[in-house]
Amino acid sequence: MDDLLELDDQLTPEHRMVRDSVAGFVTDRVLPHVGDWFEQGVFPARELAPVLGSLGMLGMHLEGYGCAGLDAVSYGVACRELEAGDSGLRSFVSVQGSLAMFPIWKYGSEEQKREWLPRMASGEAIGCFGLTEPDHGSDPAGMRTTAKQDPSGDWMLNGAKMWITNGSIADVAVVWAQTDDGIRGFVVPTSAPGFSAPEIHRKMSLRASVTSSLYFDDVRLPASAVLPGVTGLKGPLSCLTEARFGILWGVVGAARACLEAAVDYARTRVQFGRPIGAFQLTQEKLAWMAVALGQAGLTALHLGRLKDAGTLKPRQVSFGKLANVRAALDIARQARTVLGANGVTLEYPVIRHMNNLESVLTYEGTQEVHLLTLGKALTDLDAFR
């Protein structure tokens, strides 16, 4: 399928190497199996993590400690190609690098960095990020998970988190909790007594992804478990900004996969004696999908360049996450109509991407939260208060 805007011509040779490397991995190791993974509700994380690590994809935008240290556009391109395979795959890489490794890299002690980052970069250790709770999603300031320090200096962690990607397979969890000094982050080995992470089943979206609840029942942690470099919501929100950047790139890949499937189908599906792609109404659908895909790609590339220049603002990430996820979901839904009844089977990727994008629309900031973020930027009035 033609890249109508020839956006990839704007990529450097290094970016194209990343693109081709990740796309090759997805073609060889993911696409032949991901429909079955989705249908069965499984994701072979332990099998894929070392391969992803060997390709430098885990924490690839971080420097040192075994990380690749690539630029933001490289990370975005990688997320795009991963999500062209499946949103669950991109979510795994995004959570590992942006939500679990990033806070340790940014706010952790030297001891925490040396203990965890090299193992996580290689795929030997898997991480998760505990912020959302059963009763607190868009309002994390109201979290009920607590960490109290006893006279010995140890912390006692109690509470619950929900909708946690990688939770049941993680070796380490970055958990955010209320303390007497405000919200703090903790590096929690999942082998700690009192920690449990049952998997959430019966999902109709992100089925090729491990989603869990986390429970902390008097989990005793040493004083050194706290992330020393940040206090307050700035910590977890900065991690979400990192991850949202990967999302706004990743969904371009999912949308592209849906458009490619629709174009291929329209060229070969014959009705009334001619390919359905020859009918004006079908071409109109495909053209509008291509326009939306191009706009999303332009947004992602622009924001990637801003991030590499060090000028990217959180509200701009909200713009990208809001606009690109909505565009990708619209493309997936329209592509489904081009495929007709075949669009609801796993013989084609469209329904899988469409269902996944329903989750991506909500997680790491609902569209309502991002709309209000942009509204505040426009009016200087805070609708959250």
- Nearby residues of 54 by Cβ (< 8 Å), 6 or more positions away: 122, 123
Place of tokens 């950047």: 245
Of 326, 347, 193, the residue nearest 247 (C-alpha): 326
User: 113: phi > 0 → left, psi -120 to 50 → alpha, else beta; which?
Assistant: alpha
Q: How far apart are CA 14 and CA 22, in angstroms?
A: 12
Known catalytic residue: 364? yes
Sort 7 into a burial class: Cβ within 10 Å, 0-12 / 13-18 / 19+: middle
361 closest CA partner among 316, 330, 315: 330
Q: Are 245 and 72 in contact (CB under 8 A)?
A: yes
Query: In terms of Cα–Cα distance, which of 180, 135, 125 is closest to 160?
Result: 135
Question: DSSP 3-state assignment of 192?
Answer: coil
- 3-state class percentages of the chain: helix first, strand second, coil last, to nearest 5: 55, 15, 25
Our measurement of the distance from residue 185's CA atom to the centroid of its chain's CA atoms, rounded to an integer in Å, reads: 20
Helix (H, G, I), strand (E, B) or coil at 53: helix
- The closest alpha carbon to 60, from 77, 47, 44, 84, belongs to 77
Which of 83, 115, 242, 364 is flagged as catalytic? 364
Structure token pair of residue 141:
């300031």
Question: Residue 48 is encoded by which pair of tokens?
Answer: 């894929």
> Among all residues, which ones are annotated catalytic?
364
